[in-house]
Structure 1
Amino acid sequence: MDGKLVGVISTPGPPCWKVYVDGAANQRRSGVGLVLISPERTTIEKSLRLGFPATNNEAEYEALLQGMPMVRKMGGKAIEMFLDSRLVVGQVKGELEARDSRMQEYLSQVKRLQSDFNLFSLSHISKSGNTHVDSLATLATSSAGGLP
């Protein structure tokens, strides 16, 4: 290129939220943990107790269904979500079939909310890479008072 510098032109994508979610369930309670990171790197942590009994997979879906509207309410149009459930990630991506009627309903709710975003991605993350959010979800299943 005859010694001239060549500039690189890149177009930035939409400001993207990163959201780490996890669900937890035991015999007495179920809950979700969420860590939302804004495009400006503001971190929001949530531990929410579910007001109904749920399986672990249902709690994983509930975590998605809590995180997505939170980002939308804060004006987010692009979201990258991370979840340690291979089953739920596989169902949302269409790689696995949701056979149970409750899983099918959860999946359809996630698909409806997905359409609210210009960019939506969901990735599987290892349990060891999701320990902080797992702790928040476990907190929601504890007997600690004062949780919603």
Structure 2
Amino acid sequence: MYVDGAANQRGFGVGLVVISPEETIIEKSLRLGFSATNNEAEYEALLQGIAMVLKMGEKAVEMFSDSKLVVGQVKGELKARDARMQEYLSRVKRLQPGFNSFSLSHVPRSGNTHADSLATLATSSAGDLPRIILVEHLDRANEVAKGMVHVHEVKAGPS
């Protein structure tokens, strides 16, 4: 699972990309309905990812994040000094025993673009509107693009 959080002037979001052992990809984009720093959004992404995997009944998970801070704190390489970061870290530590195998690794931002795109998408959505996004694969160009396109001439004169 790849996780990412985003905090910007448009809002706060989380992106999750689950790749099953059968290589089925599940994508999730969540808009946070509360203010968060970027580090808090990164922790929210991790917690949402953990919760999603547990709901799926999985007992082993390999997670990837581009947040050096979050990965370092969870692995015990960095201290959580801020009270809010300590609480987020504590929540992660409480959920870890639910897995037979749990790993969290740092990946560069360039290796986490899929989750990043989903997190950014969440920040741009209207918070109170339901949303469905269809993603399709087109094998060939639309007929309009291949053929002649009719253009109507519009003349404008003085008003």
1:102 pairs, out of 69, 84, 98, with 84
Q: Partner of 2:144 in structure 1? A: none
Once residues 12 and 2 of structure 2 are traced to their aligned partners in structure 1, the CA distance between those partners, rounded to angstroms, is 18
Once residues 61 and 105 of structure 2 are traced to their aligned partners in structure 1, the CA distance between those partners, rounded to angstroms, is 11
Calculate the TM-score normalised by the size of structure 2. Answer: 0.78
Measured after TM superposition, the shift of residue 147 of structure 1 is 4.6
Once residues 125 and 105 of structure 2 are traced to their aligned partners in structure 1, the CA distance between those partners, rounded to angstroms, is 31
1:122 maps to amino acid: L
Q: How many residues align?
A: 130
2:70 pairs, out of 79, 84, 88, with 88
CA contact 1:89–1:123 (8 Å) conserved in 2: yes
Aligned residues: CA RMSD:
1.4
Instruction: Provide the secondary structure at the position in 1 that maps to 2:64.
Output: strand
The alignment-based identity, stated in percent, is 78
2:53 pairs, out of 71, 77, 102, with 71
Calculate the TM-score normalised by the size of structure 1. Answer: 0.84
1:90 maps to amino acid: G
Q: Partner of 2:130 in structure 1? A: 146
Unaligned runs of 5+ in 2: 133-159
Q: Is the deviation greater in 115-124 or in 35-44? A: 35-44
Q: Partner of 2:37 in structure 1? A: 55
Instruction: Provide the secondary structure at the position in 1 that maps to 2:18.
Output: strand
Once residues 93 and 147 of structure 1 are traced to their aligned partners in structure 2, the CA distance between those partners, rounded to angstroms, is 36
- CA 94–25 in structure 1, closer or farther in 2 if over 3 Å, else same: same
Larger radius of gyration: 2
Does 1:45 find its partner at 2:44?
Answer: no
